[in-house]
């Protein structure tokens, strides 16, 4: 592949309803979309699902655009790229900025798979025709509304329920869900909102037979998580703390986790996703694919990653219509009644990108040809 055309788009997707985590509340989802075109006329799309501010990780819309425009795009110029993972070598001087790198790598994967005429999932070694979806519910703070959301999720067919927790909203919602819905597959995600001083809270949560407790402690920590894991039975699942294969290795050696939530964008793309996935497979550690409120484009890469063999829990892949007023891919991602998505068999990401809708909500479009 020789890249001859690049578009970097700041896309502002209106959300159906506000989404709250321990980071805050958002009503519009700002994200960065990337289109790459090659000399033979093939195109590929990717997404860097960054936030407006450095809340989930240090990246923002502005840093992603800056790094893609000023460092990544110049590195693609006049290069023959034989495989998407070659990008890692081309970008080896750029430290961090995993989501910016992932967005461009995703677009390369889509383009590469389209050129080969094969679906993306097959090219990365995926083995599933359907992938399981779980529902992630934000910090609602209102028990009645929480129970309604759980009921709606179960009715939709989602295969497990995850609720976001924060200090003051943890044991009681879990207890209430268990009381109302019995032994459903249930897990919690703290998004790093606790410290080891909160051990009594985790000991309480330990009584409710949760599938896992996700990222309870500091976003950059492995050691404290290993102490917490020694003191509770519920498996700890790390999300924010695992940014690459080195973190996965260190956390494994320390005993910091028993499950990994791999977000392909967090770890810099599908190449690092594959490395972590196969490392975990070798050590019999289950993994699953997490989400960052991706648009339909980012979701395509989550679905491809979720077809890998060592995915052993339902993935955080919600229907587009749950969050977004308009979907930017055709057909939209629609959950089957059994709580799975059918993996597209068309070449590349397997869905058409609706540029007309993208342009409608685009805040800024940068275009380059070379
Ligand atoms: Mg998480």
Mean pLDDT of 43-69: 96
> How is residue 227 written in tokens?
């102490």
255 CA → ligand 1 middle, Å: 19
Burial of 249 by CB count in 10 Å (0-12 exposed, 13-18 middle, 19+ buried)? middle
Contact residues for 197 (Cβ-Cβ < 8 A; gap 6+): none
Buried b (16+ CB within 10 A) or exposed e, 87-118: beeebeeeeebbbbbbbbbbbbbbbbbbeeee
367 CA → ligand 1 middle, Å: 33
Is 166 considered catalytic here? no
pTM of the model: 0.96
User: All domains of the chain, ordered by start, with CATH?
Assistant: 3-117+355-369 (3.30.390.10), 122-342 (3.20.20.120)
Residues 214/181, Cβ–Cβ less than 8 Å = no
Of the candidates 144, 143, 193, 132, which has an alpha carbon nearest to the alpha carbon of residue 167? 193
Q: Is 167 left (phi over 0), alpha (psi -120 to 50) or beta?
A: beta
Q: What is the rounded CA–CA span in Å between residue 48 and residue 31?
A: 7
21 CA → ligand 1 middle, Å: 10
| Confidence category of residue 22, pLDDT binned at 50, 70, 90 | low
Does the pLDDT at position 182 exceed 70?
yes
Portion of the chain with pLDDT greater than 90, in percent:
91
| pLDDT tens, residue by residue, 140-160 | 889 999 999 999 999 999 999
Residue of 148, 263, 360, 364 marked catalytic = 263
Burial of 338 by CB count in 10 Å (0-12 exposed, 13-18 middle, 19+ buried)? exposed
140 CA → ligand 1 middle, Å: 16
55 CA → ligand 1 middle, Å: 12
| Confidence category of residue 322, pLDDT binned at 50, 70, 90 | confident
189 CA → ligand 1 middle, Å: 6
Helix, strand, coil shares of the chain as percentages rounded to 5? 35, 25, 40
> How is residue 104 written in tokens?
């461009």
Residues 59/50, Cβ–Cβ less than 8 Å = yes
Residue of 114, 162, 164, 166 marked catalytic = 164
| pLDDT tens, residue by residue, 338-348 | 999 999 999 99
3-state secondary structure of 77: coil
Q: What is the rounded CA–CA span in Å between residue 370 and residue 350?
A: 27
| Confidence category of residue 21, pLDDT binned at 50, 70, 90 | low
135 CA → ligand 1 middle, Å: 12
Strand blocks (E) in the chain:
3-21, 24-38, 43-48, 130-137, 161-164, 186-189, 213-214, 236-238, 259-262, 287-289, 315-316, 329-330, 340-342, 352-353, 362-369
Whole-Å CA distances, 23 to 19, 20, 55, 56, 370: 10, 7, 6, 7, 40
| Confidence category of residue 24, pLDDT binned at 50, 70, 90 | confident
Is 263 considered catalytic here? yes
217 CA → ligand 1 middle, Å: 11
State phi, psi for 324 to the nearest 5 degrees. -100, 140
């Amino acid at each position: 592949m020789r890249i001859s055309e690049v578009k970097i788009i700041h896309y502002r997707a209106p959300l159906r309803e506000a989404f709250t985590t321990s980071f805050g509340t958002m009503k519009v989802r700002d994200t960065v979309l990337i289109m790459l075109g090659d000399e033979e006329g093939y195109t590929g799309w990717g997404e860097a699902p960054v936030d407006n501010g450095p809340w989930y990780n240090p990246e923002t819309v502005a840093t992603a655009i800056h790094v893609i425009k000023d460092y990544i795009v110049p590195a693609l110029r006049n290069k023959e790229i034989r495989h998407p993972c070659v990008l890692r070598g081309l970008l080896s001087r750029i430290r961090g900025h995993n989501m910016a790198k992932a967005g461009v790598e995703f677009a390369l994967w889509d383009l590469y798979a389209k050129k080969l005429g094969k679906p993306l999932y097959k090219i990365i070694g995926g083995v599933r025709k359907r992938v399981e979806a779980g529902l992630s519910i934000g910090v609602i703070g209102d028990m009645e509304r929480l129970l309604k959301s759980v009921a709606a999720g179960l009715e939709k067919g989602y295969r497990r329920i995850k609720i976001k927790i924060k200090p003051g909203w943890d044991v009681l919602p879990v207890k209430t869900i268990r009381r109302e819905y019995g032994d459903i597959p249930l897990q919690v995600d703290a998004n790093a909102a606790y410290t080891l001083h909160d051990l009594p809270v985790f000991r309480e949560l330990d009584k409710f037979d949760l599938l896992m407790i996700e990222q309870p402690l500091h976003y950059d920590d492995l050691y404290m998580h290993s102490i917490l894991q020694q003191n509770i039975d519920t498996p700890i699942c790390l999300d924010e703390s695992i940014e690459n294969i080195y973190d996965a290795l260190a956390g494994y050696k320390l005993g910091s986790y028993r499950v990994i939530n791999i977000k392909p964008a967090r770890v810099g793309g599908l190449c690092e996703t594959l490395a972590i996935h196969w490392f975990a497979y070798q050590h019999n550690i289950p993994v699953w694919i997490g989400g960052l409120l991706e648009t339909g484009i980012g979701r395509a890469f989550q679905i491809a990653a979720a077809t890998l063999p060592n995915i052993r829990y339902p993935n955080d892949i919600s229907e587009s219509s749950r969050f977004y007023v308009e979907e930017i891919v055709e057909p939209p991602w629609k959950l089957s009644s059994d709580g799975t998505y059918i993996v597209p068999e068309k070449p590349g990401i397997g869905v058409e990108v609706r540029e007309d809708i993208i342009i409608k909500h685009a805040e800024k479009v940068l275009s380059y040809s070379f």
